[in-house]
Amino acid sequence: MQPLTDKKLESMALMATRLREDVIKMVSHAGSGHVAGPLDMAEIFTAFYFHILNHNPKKPDWPDRDRLVLSNGHICPVQYAALAHAGYFPVEELKTLRQLGTRLQGHPHRGVLPGVETTSGPLGSGISQASGIALAARLDRKKYQVYCLTSDGEHEEGNTWEAVMFAGKNRLSNLTVVVDRNNIQIDGFTEKVMPLEPFADKYRAFNWHVLEIDGHNFEEIIAAAAEARAIHEQPTVIIAHTIPGKGVDFMENDYLWHSKPFAPGEAEKALGELRTLEGKIKAEG
């Protein structure tokens, strides 16, 4: 990884804000889509595509690239925005989200858009897919890392824990799972719908190395990814504590924004808040 300088931190903060702006524009233009999750994962996607991943947007199928698997595919607007700004496809294409014939479907589809490693939609499949990729890397004696981004809500799926057991049993140390611990899902707060706690202890019970971080802090995200790469006997889970709807005051911590269309004026209000934040980051820099 490159050195994490103050200038790099500022550029990533600006990028995260731009990704949030793109999410608002994309979902507003489409008239449907998910908002809360994409907004709260902006720092994590920025950190991965602009600092952590060993990848080459000009050669998306480079055999030795790190793999990033998105399990909770409904938050794909933020991944699409990150891929576009990283150079995988034109930024102008973001406005085609969920349009007829678009490459930017409501859930990512492998083989259609460069940089998308797996097709996702049914929740709970991502860690299984990522575990298979990680095991294949070991069998092929490849050194690339496999990262799987997941939601906390999908940990209510049994398939998730089958994969967690498999990865722990096989000591897939080249696998790192990042959990968006935003505490919400479509029907409410996770601890009311189906409690997950003690969440970290569950992973430890299946022989995983567990880290807990502030999912909006670049230094913590990047340090956790570096620590995960240094663990050689276990897979690692990074439980990233986030604020759903992060960056837009009237959306934060409101589970209804998991998937909710914008009322007239709401998208413009959200963009106004984000542009103010962008100006503040530039001024402080």
Name residue, tokens 């929740």.
123
User: Nearest to residue 44, comparing CAs of 252, 239, 190, 278?
Assistant: 239
Q: Is residue 1 part of a domain?
A: no
pLDDT per position as a tens digit, 215-274: 999 999 999 999 999 999 999 999 999 999 999 999 999 988 888 889 999 999 999 999
**How does DSSP classify residue 50?**
I
Across the range 24-28, mean pLDDT stands at 97
- Residue 203's SS3 state is helix
Q: Is residue 35 part of a domain?
A: yes
Is 184:36 a contact under the CB 8 Å cutoff? yes
- Residue 92: Cβ-neighbour burial (10 angstroms; 0-12, 13-18, 19+): exposed
CATH code of the domain covering residue 182:
3.40.50.970
Question: What's the CA gap between 202 and 37, in Å, rounded?
Answer: 23
User: Nearest to residue 48, comparing CAs of 149, 126, 130?
Assistant: 149
Domain that holds residue 42: 6-284
Tokens of 35: 């908002």
Q: How many domains does the chain have?
A: 1
- Residue 139's SS3 state is helix
pLDDT per position as a tens digit, 94-142: 999 999 999 999 999 999 999 999 999 888 999 999 999 999 999 999 9
Q: Is residue 103 part of a domain?
A: yes
What's the CA angle centered on 163, arms 159 and 167, to 5 degrees? Answer: 175
What's the CA angle centered on 41, arms 13 and 193, to 5 degrees? Answer: 150
Q: Is residue 188 part of a domain?
A: yes
CA atoms within 13 A on the CB side of 190: 21
Is 252:258 a contact under the CB 8 Å cutoff? no
The strand pairing partners of 68, in sequence order, are 147
Q: Is residue 44 part of a domain?
A: yes
Tokens of 222: 């990047």
3-state helix, strand and coil shares in percent for the chain, rounded to the nearest 5? 50, 10, 40
Percent with pLDDT over 70 in the chain: 100
Task: Please give the pLDDT value at position 121.
Answer: 80
Q: Is residue 190 part of a domain?
A: yes
pLDDT per position as a tens digit, 140-162: 999 999 999 999 999 999 999 99
Q: pLDDT band at 3, cuts 50/70/90?
A: confident
Is 82:46 a contact under the CB 8 Å cutoff? yes
User: Quick check: 56 pLDDT over 80?
Assistant: yes
Question: What's the CA gap between 225 and 229, in Å, rounded?
Answer: 6
User: Nearest to residue 193, comparing CAs of 243, 160, 153, 157?
Assistant: 153
Q: Is residue 143 part of a domain?
A: yes
Q: How many CB atoms lie within 10 A of CB 169?
A: 10
Q: Is residue 112 part of a domain?
A: yes
pLDDT per position as a tens digit, 242-257: 999 999 999 999 988 8
How does the average pLDDT of the chain come out, rounded?
Answer: 96
